[in-house]
């Protein structure tokens, strides 16, 4: 190979919601999931969030989502392998989508053509920036020249140190999309209950339930403070689904607690379709295992 060094490249999917700026900075490749309205299909990375949520408000049916095709997955990984790079793919929970299994299929197909290729595929067991942080920490390690084995360990380690808490504005979307997991016990409860949801072992689960949205936000902040007091803070981000004002107010409250600026990450169409507009969440990882 005339002595050029191989690099480790990170591939993830669009439900990580990593900002454009960070994807460019750390050379992260993204394969896109799609959303399907009655008769139109959009790639998640090809439609503006505002446009999508406007369509969602006007539509009568909740759209469905679909995983990237095997061909797209193959192409995005092969692009790196062709130029002698190693690939670590980090994808959304295999309990939520077939994206991970398609990545495994693509890997096996690529190995038939490129038997010396080094490709590792990781199931993040989550989505949104809980997946995003796992991919990002891997990409940062790769840029520092870590080996593929070290990058894989760093990604898996990050997954163990992260938490995602969120409150849907309504349970209607989770119910219709069949993605409610262990939180299904809530469906019979009276409507004043505000559930705080989390992702455990790849599925949406109930973390806690309180009476009002304000209390739910406070309960999420309390858990965050408890975790970082015990385990230290790596990074934190506030998520929202089409509720910029709510997210800014949430971020401001958290900033006052920790004395540090916090970024806000909007959630796109695929997860937005399953959770519904108005949801707010906090994603973070700590310095030691939770």
Answer whether residue 166 is part of any domain: yes
Mean pLDDT of 228-251: 97
Answer whether residue 46 is part of any domain: no
Answer whether residue 50 is part of any domain: no
pLDDT tens for 93-150 read 999 999 999 999 999 999 999 999 999 999 999 999 999 999 999 999 999 999 999 9
Residues 27 and 123 in one domain: yes
pLDDT of residue 16: 98
Q: How far is CA 152 from the centre of its chain?
A: 17
Answer whether residue 235 is part of any domain: yes
Residues 145 and 193 in one domain: no
Percent of the chain at pLDDT > 90 equals 82
End-to-end CA distance of the chain: 43
pLDDT tens for 201-215 read 999 999 998 989 999
Domain boundary among 100, 132, 160: 160
pLDDT of residue 39: 84
Residues 153 and 168 in one domain: no
Per the structure, the complete domain to which residue 18 belongs is given by: 8-33+68-160
Environment class of 49 (CB within 10 Å of its CB; exposed 0-12, middle 13-18, buried 19+): middle
Answer whether residue 21 is part of any domain: yes
Q: Report the CATH number that the domain containing residue 218 is assigned in CATH.
A: 3.30.1180.10
Q: What is the DSSP letter of 201?
A: T
Q: Which residue is it, tokens 């937005």?
A: 272
pLDDT of residue 173: 81
Distance CA 239, CA 19 (A): 12
pLDDT of residue 37: 87
Residue 9, pLDDT > 50, answer yes
Q: Report the CATH number that the domain containing residue 121 is assigned in CATH.
A: 3.40.50.10440
Answer whether residue 38 is part of any domain: no
Residues 49 and 268 sit within 8 Å (Cβ to Cβ) = yes
Domain boundary among 130, 160, 190: 160
Helices (H), the chain: 20-25, 49-58, 70-82, 99-113, 128-143, 148-160, 172-177, 213-231, 244-258, 269-275
Residues 155 and 174 in one domain: no
Task: Indicate the number of domains in the chain.
Answer: 2
Q: What is the pTM of this model?
A: 0.94
């Amino acid at each position: 190979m005339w002595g050029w060094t191989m690099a480790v490249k990170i591939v993830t999917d669009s439900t990580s919601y990593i900002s454009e700026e960070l994807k460019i900075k750390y050379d992260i490749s993204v394969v896109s999931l799609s959303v399907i309205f009655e008769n139109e299909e959009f790639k998640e990375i090809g439609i503006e969030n505002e446009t999508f949520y406007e369509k969602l408000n006007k539509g009568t049916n909740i759209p469905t989502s679909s995983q990237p095709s095997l061909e797209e997955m193959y192409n995005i990984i092969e692009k790196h392998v062709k130029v002698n790079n190693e690939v670590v793919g980090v994808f959304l929970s295999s309990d939520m989508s077939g994206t991970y299994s398609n990545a495994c299929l693509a890997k096996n197909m690529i190995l038939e053509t490129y038997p010396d290729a080094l490709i590792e595929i990781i199931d993040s067991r989550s989505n949104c920036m809980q997946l995003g942080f796992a991919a990002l920490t891997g990409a940062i390690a790769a840029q520092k020249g870590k080996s593929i084995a070290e990058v894989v360990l760093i990604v898996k380690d990050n997954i163990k140190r992260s938490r995602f808490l969120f409150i849907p504005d309504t349970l209607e979307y989770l119910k219709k999309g069949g993605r409610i997991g262990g939180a299904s016990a809530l469906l019979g409860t009276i409507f004043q209950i505000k559930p705080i949801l989390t992702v455990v072992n790849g599925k949406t689960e109930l973390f806690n339930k309180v009476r009002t949205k304000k209390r739910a936000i406070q309960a999420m902040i309390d858990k965050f403070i408890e975790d970082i007091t015990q385990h230290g803070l790596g990074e934190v981000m506030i998520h929202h689904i089409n509720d910029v004002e709510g997210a800014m107010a949430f971020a401001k409250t958290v900033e006052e607690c920790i004395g540090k600026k916090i970024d806000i990450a909007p959630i796109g169409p695929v997860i937005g379709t399953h959770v519904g507009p108005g949801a707010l969440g906090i994603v973070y990882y700590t310095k030691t295992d939770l």
